[in-house]
Amino acid sequence: MPQVIFLPHEKFCPDGMVVEAETGKSILEVAHDNHIEIESACGGVCACTTCHCVIREGFDSLNEADELEEDYLDRAWGLEPTSRLTCQAKVGTEDLTVEIPKYSLNHAAEAPH
């Protein structure tokens, strides 16, 4: 079973985490299964950019992004050549290293009161 290495993120995973991942599961599912609450304002249906991540290792083992995902990625903050939406990127057979960007464009999030 491949491993997914989540790099430290101040809000979602302060110490980082290494988890086992089932091939074919989305990175978002793997994160949520392991209590890493990556934002997904659209509920993981490829209708926003809040679950944007950068794949630091293992990018080529993921399924290819379709046109809709690529259109949304064009709107993501901090876009890089190995950016993906975690709701669409499916774990392949290789280990992955995932970086959750510091910021996300979540227009649905409530402001602190």
pLDDT grade for 112, boundaries at 50, 70 and 90: very low
pLDDT grade for 108, boundaries at 50, 70 and 90: very low
Domains, the chain, ranges and CATH? 3-99 (3.10.20.30)
Q: What is the pLDDT of residue 77?
A: 86
Q: What is the pLDDT of residue 111?
A: 40
- Alpha helix stretches (DSSP H) within 1-113: 27-33, 67-73
Q: What is the pLDDT of residue 90?
A: 98
Please determine, for residue 88, whether its predicted confidence score (pLDDT) is greater than 60: yes
Q: What is the pLDDT of residue 22?
A: 96
Contacts of 26 (CB under 8 A, 6+ apart): 44, 86, 87, 88, 89, 90, 91
Please determine, for residue 49, whether its predicted confidence score (pLDDT) is greater than 70: yes
Which percentage of the chain shows pLDDT scores above 90? 87
Instruction: Give, for 22, the enclosing helix (H) or strand (E).
Output: none
